[in-house]
Chains A and B, each alone.
Chain A
Amino acid sequence: MSSRAAILSAVKAAQPSLKPLPALPVSNVSNDLTGLFSETLLGIGAQVHFVTDYDELIRIIGSSYDLGKRIIALNKVFAPIAEVEAVYTAPLTLADVELVILETNLAVAENGAVWITDDQLPARVLPFIAQHSAVIVRKEDIVANMHQAYEVIGDQVYGFGTFIAGPSKTADIEQSLVLGAHGPCSMLVFIL
Chain B
Amino acid sequence: MTNTAYQSHAERATIFNEDEARVNWHDETLWWVRQKRDRAAHLIPEWESLRELASGIKDNVLSNLHDYLVSFEEQAIQNGVQVHWAADAAEHNAIVLSIVKRHGVNRMVKSKSMLTEECHLNAFLSEQGIEVIDTDLGERIVQLAEEPPSHIVLPCIHKKKEEIGDLFHEHLGTPAGNADPQFLTAAARLHLREKFLTRRVAITGVNFAVAETGEFVVCTNEGNADMGAHLADVHIACMGMEKIIPQRRHLGVFLRLLTRSATGQPITTYSSHFRKPRPGQELHIILVDNGRSRQLGRPDFRNSLKCIRCAACFNTCPVYRRSGGHSYHTAIAGPIGSILAPNLDMKEYADLPFASTLCGSCSNVCPVKIDIHDQLYKWRQVLVQEGHAPLVKKVAMAGMAFTLSLPSLYKIAGKAARWTLSHAPFAVNNKLNPWYKNREMPQVPASSFGEWYAKNRTKNK
Contact between chain A and chain B defined by CB under 8 Å: yes
Please determine whether B249 and A180 come into contact, CB atoms closer than 8 angstroms: no
Q: Are B66 and A12 touching (Cβ within 8 A)?
A: yes
Q: Chain A nearest CB: distance from B76 CB in Å?
A: 12
Contact across chains for B221 and A174 when beta carbons are under 8 A apart:
no
Contact between B70 and A8 (Cβ–Cβ < 8 Å)? yes
Could you mark each residue 272-299 of chain B with 1 if its beta carbon is under 8 Å from any beta carbon of chain A, else 0? 1111111110000001010001101101
User: CB of A181 within 8 A of chain B?
Assistant: yes
Answer yes or no: A63 CB below 8 A from chain B CBs: no
Given contacts A8-B69, A160-B273, A160-B274, contact A173 B185 (CB under 8 A): yes
- Is A181 a contact of B63 with CB atoms below 8 Å? no
Query: At the interface, yes or no: B47 with Cβ under 8 Å from chain A?
Result: no
Answer whether residue B435 sits at the interface, using C-beta atoms and an 8 A cutoff. no
| Inter-chain contact A7/B293, CB cutoff 8 Å | yes
CB pair B266 A15 closer than 8 Å: no
Contacts of A178 in B (CB 8 A): 181-182, 185
Name the contact of B226 in the complex, choosing from A12, A125, A175 (C-beta under 8 A). Answer: A125
Interface mask (A170-190 → B, CB under 8 Å = 1, otherwise 0):
111111101011111000000
Within 8 Å by CB of A183, from B86, B137, B227, B248, lies: B227
CA distance A172 to B53 in the complex (A): 31
List the A side residues contacting B185 at CB < 8 Å.
170, 172-173, 178, 180-181
Cβ distance A98 to chain B, nearest Cβ, rounded Å = 14
Q: What DSSP secondary structure best describes chain B's contact surface?
A: helix
B164 is an interface residue with CB less than 8 A from chain A: yes
Q: Which residues of chain B from 229 to 277 have any CB-CB distance to chain A below 8 Å in the complex?
A: 230-231, 241, 246, 248-253, 255-256, 263, 265-277
Asked whether any CB of chain A lies closer than 8 Å to the CB of B416, the reply is no
A92-B197, A95-B197, A165-B266 given; A182·B223 CB < 8 A: yes
Interface flags, A122-137, vs B, CB<8A=1, else 0: 0111011100000000
Q: Check A170–B248 contact: CB distance below 8 A.
A: no
List B contacts of A19 (CB < 8 A).
56, 59-60, 62-63
> In the assembly, what is the distance between CA of A178 and CA of B70, in Å?
42
- Would A162 and B252 be within 8 Å (CB), given that A4-B85, A7-B289, A11-B296 are in contact? no
Q: Do B181 and A183 touch across chains, with their CB atoms under 8 A apart?
A: no
Q: Contact partner of A162 among B29, B221, B272, B297, CB < 8 A?
A: B272
A interface size (C-beta, 8 A): 71
State whether A173 and B161 are in contact (beta carbons under 8 Å apart), knowing that A8-B69, A147-B249, A164-B270 are contacts in the complex. Answer: yes
A123 to B278 CA separation, bound complex (whole angstroms): 9
A13-B297, A162-B273 known; A173 vs B278 contact (CB < 8 Å): no
B155, CB-defined interface residue at 8 Å: yes
Complex CA–CA separation, A11 to B72 (angstroms): 15
Contact with A along B352-363 (1 / 0, CB 8 A): 000000000000
Q: Which residues of B contact A173 (CB under 8 A)?
A: 137, 141, 156, 161, 164, 181, 184-185
Query: B230, A7: Cβ atoms under 8 Å?
Result: no
Q: Does A29 lie at the interface of the complex (its beta carbon under 8 Å from any beta carbon of B)?
A: no
Given the contacts A14-B296, A21-B56, A123 and B230 also touching, CB distance less than 8 Å: yes
A16 touches B192 (CB 8 A): no
Across the interface, do B269 and A176 meet the contact criterion of CB distance under 8 Å?
Answer: no
Q: CA–CA, A145 to B251, complex, Å? A: 12
Tell whether, in the assembled complex, residue A11 and residue B223 are in contact, meaning their CB atoms are under 8 Å apart: no
A-chain residues with CB within 8 Å of residue B255 when the two chains form the complex: 146, 163
The residue from A108, A112, A128, A147 contacting B253, defined by CB atoms under 8 A apart: A147
Is B196 among interface residues, defined by CB-CB distance under 8 A? Answer: yes
Complex: chain B residue closest to A157, CB-CB: B275
6 interchain residue pairs of minimum CB distance: A183-B223, A14-B297, A111-B266, A181-B222, A125-B230, A159-B276
**Other contacts beyond A113-B271, A172-B141, A182-B193: 17, CB < 8 A:** A3-B85, A6-B87, A8-B66, A19-B59, A19-B60, A24-B250, A95-B193, A111-B267, A128-B230, A145-B252, A146-B251, A155-B248, A161-B275, A162-B270, A166-B269, A168-B223, A181-B223
A-binding residues in B (CB < 8 A): 29, 32-33, 46, 49, 52-53, 56-57, 59-60, 62-66, 69-70, 79, 85-87, 91, 135-138, 141, 154-157, 159-161, 164, 181-182, 184-186, 188-189, 192-193, 196-197, 221-224, 226-227, 230-231, 241, 246, 248-253, 255-256, 263, 265-280, 287, 289, 293-294, 296-297, 299, 302
Q: Could you name 10 residue pairs across A and B whose Cβ atoms are closer than 8 Å? A: A11-B65, A11-B289, A14-B297, A24-B253, A129-B227, A165-B270, A172-B154, A174-B160, A176-B181, A182-B222
